[in-house]
Homo-oligomer: A and B are copies of this chain.
Amino acid sequence: VNDKGRYMISVAAELVGMHPQTLRIYEQKGLVRPTRTAGNTRLYSDADLERLRLIQQLTTELGLNLAGVEMVLRLEDQLSRMQRRLERVEREMNERLRQVEREYKRELVLWEDPTLPVRTRR
C-alpha cells in the first residue's frame, strides 16, 4: 500500500466498507481529518483509512458510540506515548549506568598501571 495514497470519498468508503455519508459525519465530529483539494474535495490518506478501520472496529464490533470512540482514541494515544516514554527512560538510565561503570573501571586501571599516562588526582 502506497503511503502517499490519496483517495476521494467514494473510493475511501469502498476500501473500508463504509457509507460515504458516514465518513463525512466522522469528519464533522473530528474523528478523521482528510485533506481537501482546491475544489474542496476530501482526500483520504492511508493513515486516515487505518484510523477509519479502527473506528469501525470500535463501533461495529465493540458497540461504542462516537463520543466513546473519541475518548478511547485519545486514551490510546496517551497510553502509547507513555509506553514510549517508559522505554526511553529505561534506555537512558541503563545508558547512564553503563557510563558510570566504564568511568569507574578506567580510573582503577589508571591507578594500577603506571605505564599509562598520569591523570590529575582528585
Residues of A within 8 A of B (CB): 58, 62-65, 67-69, 71-72, 75-76, 78-79, 82-83, 85-86, 89-90, 93-94, 96-97, 100-101, 103-104, 107-108, 111-112, 121-122
Contacts and interface: CB of A to CB of B under 8 A. Distances in A.
A63 B64 contact: no
A58 B65 CA distance: 12
A48 to B, nearest CB: 22
This chain: copies in complex: 2
Query: DSSP majority for the A interface?
Result: helix
Nearest to A96: B97
A81 to B, nearest CB: 10
A93 B97 contact: yes
A71 B64 contact: yes
Nearest to A58: B71
Nearest to A112: B121
B72 A69 contact: no
Nearest to A109: B122
B76 A82 contact: no
